[in-house]
Amino acid sequence: MEQTIYAYAEYFAHNNSFLAYVFFFINASLQALFPPYPGDTIIVFQGYIGTLGVFSNFLIVLTTLLGTVLSGIFLFVISYKYGDNITSHRFFRRFFDVNKIDNLHKVFNKYGVGLILFNRFVPGCAMITVIAAGIFKLNRIKAIASLTIAGIVHNCLLMALGYTVGYNMPLIREILIKFNKFFILLALLLALIIFIIYLRKKKQEEISVKEPNLDNE
């Protein structure tokens, strides 16, 4: 699939600048809406296209960012609108009781912005995080702002890579693989730290509950 997409990108780049900009927008949208789609490498390729002097770098960046941000906002708005229907569904309630759902609301209200910003760089997690932020009602202004910032930083880094490295796809793939591995390992490390903190906090709460009972005896 990736080679086919490259073929279309190259065709538009050499034959129709208007369709090329439309392609950049659609590519960025599919990257956000359909994680298996190889959007990262295509965005890097767009950075290389910017070095050819045929296209406006501003329009390349603008169409790419619009595709990423608008598709992310679309996912968030839909999830926000229908979130209550999802959390109240009996299938969902089989796995999450009322207390757990309330806790998830609190978690996203407190850490949602950070999760959106960080998970934008973790493969396969960006879409899930945005949907969860909508379902658990993260503040809309905060959500849209964090989606925009994450999209700008992520896409500009990818395009800067293409602008710097050029049309060297083996090297680009190697860099992206290392980049993705780094953020996956970092995410696992953070998850482990959070889990340890949670266990210690829970243990301290259990001790504090037992101490008054011992005093009463």
Identify the pLDDT of residue 121. Answer: 83
Spatial distance between the Cα atoms of 131 and 26, rounded to a whole number of angstroms: 20
Identify the pLDDT of residue 10. Answer: 74
Percent of the chain residues past pLDDT 90, beyond the cut: 10
Q: Which residue has the tokens 């538009």?
A: 12
The predicted model gives 158-179 an average pLDDT of: 82
Decide if 151 contacts 72 (C-beta within 8 A).
yes
**Residue (of 180, 178, 176, 200) closest to 188 by Cα position:** 180
Which domain range does residue 147 map to? 2-216
Spatial distance between the Cα atoms of 22 and 59, rounded to a whole number of angstroms: 10
Spatial distance between the Cα atoms of 97 and 100, rounded to a whole number of angstroms: 5
What digits encode the pLDDT tens for the residues 72-125?
Answer: 999 999 988 887 787 776 766 666 665 666 777 777 788 888 888 888 888 778
The predicted model gives 199-216 an average pLDDT of: 65
Identify the pLDDT of residue 71. Answer: 92
Q: What is the DSSP letter of 128?
A: H
Number of domains in the chain: 1
What digits encode the pLDDT tens for the residues 13-37?
Answer: 777 888 889 988 998 888 888 877 7
Residue 40: is its pLDDT beyond 90? no
| Helix residue spans in the chain (DSSP H) | 2-15, 17-33, 39-49, 57-87, 90-95, 98-119, 126-135, 140-165, 169-216
